[in-house]
Amino acid sequence: MALSGVDLTIGDREFVAVLGKSGSGKSTLLRVLAGLDTLDSGIVEWSGSESATRSHTGVVFQQPLLMPWLTVLENVEFGQRFASQRDRIDGNRARDLLSRFGLDALAQRRPAQLSGGQAQRVAIIRAAAVAPRLLLLDEPFSALDPAVRGDLRGWLAELADELGMTVVLVTHDVEEALELADRIVLLGDNGTIRGQWCLESADRVDPVLRSAIFDSYRDPVGERS
Ligand SMILES: Nc1ncnc2c1ncn2[C@@H]1O[C@H](COP(=O)(O)OP(=O)(O)OP(=O)(O)O)[C@@H](O)[C@H]1O
C-alpha cells in the first residue's frame, strides 16, 4: 500500500512541503491530488465536494518536459489550449507571466537553448498559466545544481505569493522545505503521516525545531507533531 491513513487538510494559499524518504509515497500523494492516480479507498475533496480534480491543478515534475519544437512562449501557451476552465484564462497571461517573473528575454528561445534552471522556471510558469487552484511540484529542483536551486527557491516563493497559489511541493531536501513551506508534512514508512510542523518565519531558523525536523526525517519512527 503506497498511502495509508493519510488525513490532510490544505488551506487556501497554503504552501505545504511533503518530505519523506524514497518510497514513502510522496509522488503517489501528489498524483492522487492531481487526479492522475485513483484511490482504492478514501476521498479527495475540494471545498467540501468531490469534483474532478485534474482541471484544478497544475503539475511540474523533476524534468521540465517542455515541447522541444515550440518556443518558450508557445510552451507556456500550450497548457492553456487544454485548460478546461477557459473563462479564467486571459489571452495575454503567458506573455505577462514570463515578463513578470523575469523570463521575457527567453520568450522566443527553444527549450534546447535554455539552462536546466531556466527550463524548470518555464515549466513552472506553464503550470501557473492555467491559473490552477493548486500547484503541485514533484521534486522540481532536484536535477539542478545547489546554487541554481537556491535561486529557484526564492523565485518560486515570490511567484506563489504574488499569484496567491496553493502549493504542494514534494522534496527530499529538508532545507528546501524549511525555507519555503508554511507547513511540513513528513511521510514515514508505508505512506503514513509521521509528523507535521507549521512554520512561522522565526521557526525556520529555530535550532530546536530544525533539529527535530532533521532528526524525524532521518529516523521517521513514531508520531511527532
Ligand atoms: N504504479 C505503481 N504500482 C505499484 N506500486 C507503485 C507504483 N508507483 C509507486 N509504487 C510504490 O508505492 C510506494 C510509494 O512510491 P512513491 O513513488 O509514491 O514514493 P516516493 O516517496 O515519491 O519515492 P521517491 O522519493 O523515490 O520518488 C513505493 O513502494 C513504490 O514502489
Compute, in degrees rounded to 10, the torsion defined by CA atoms 99, 104, 109, 112: -70
Structural domains of the chain, count: 1
In this structure, what C-alpha cell is assigned to residue 166? 496553493
Q: Report if residue 114 sits inside a domain.
A: no
- Residue 183 to residue 26: CA distance in whole angstroms: 15
Question: Which of these, 92, 95, 91, lies nearest to 71 by C-alpha position?
Answer: 95
Residue 28 lies in a domain: yes
**Is residue 32 situated within a structural domain?**
yes
Closest Cα to residue 159, out of 135, 183, 143? Answer: 135
In a domain, 183, yes or no: yes
CA 117 to chain CA centroid, Å, is 15
Q: 191 alpha carbon to ligand 1 midpoint, in Å?
A: 9
| Residue listed under C-alpha cell 507547513 | 183
This prediction's pTM:
0.89
Range of the domain at 27: 15-72+133-218
- Residue 127 placed within a domain: no
Atom 10 of ligand 1, residue of closest alpha carbon? 2
82 — pLDDT class (breaks 50, 70, 90): low
Do the domain assignments include residue 96?
no
Confidence of residue 30 (pLDDT cuts 50, 70, 90): very high
Percent of the chain with pLDDT over 70: 90
Q: What is the CATH number of the domain that holds 47?
A: 3.40.50.300
Q: Whose CA is nearest to atom 14 of ligand 1?
A: 25
ipTM score of the complex? 0.93
- Listing from the earlier edge strand, what are the strands of the sheet with 183-187? 57-60, 134-138, 166-171, 15-20, 183-187, 193-198
For the stretch 93-137, pLDDT in tens is 888 999 989 899 999 999 999 999 999 999 999 999 888 889 999
What is the average pLDDT value for the chain, to the nearest integer? Answer: 86
CA angle 142, 147, 148 (to 5 degrees): 60
Domain membership of residue 159 (yes or no) is yes
Per-residue model confidence as pLDDT tens digits over 165-208: 999 999 999 999 999 999 999 998 878 899 999 988 777 778 88
Q: Report CA-CA distances (Å) from 184 to 65, 70, 122, 149, 162.
A: 27, 36, 26, 19, 21
- Residue 174: inside a domain: yes
192 lines ligand 1 (CB under 6 A): no
Q: Is the C-beta atom of 22 inside 6 A of ligand 1?
A: yes
Residues 151-179 as b/e (b if ≥16 CB within 10 A, e otherwise) read: ebbebbeebbeebebbbbbbbebbebbbb
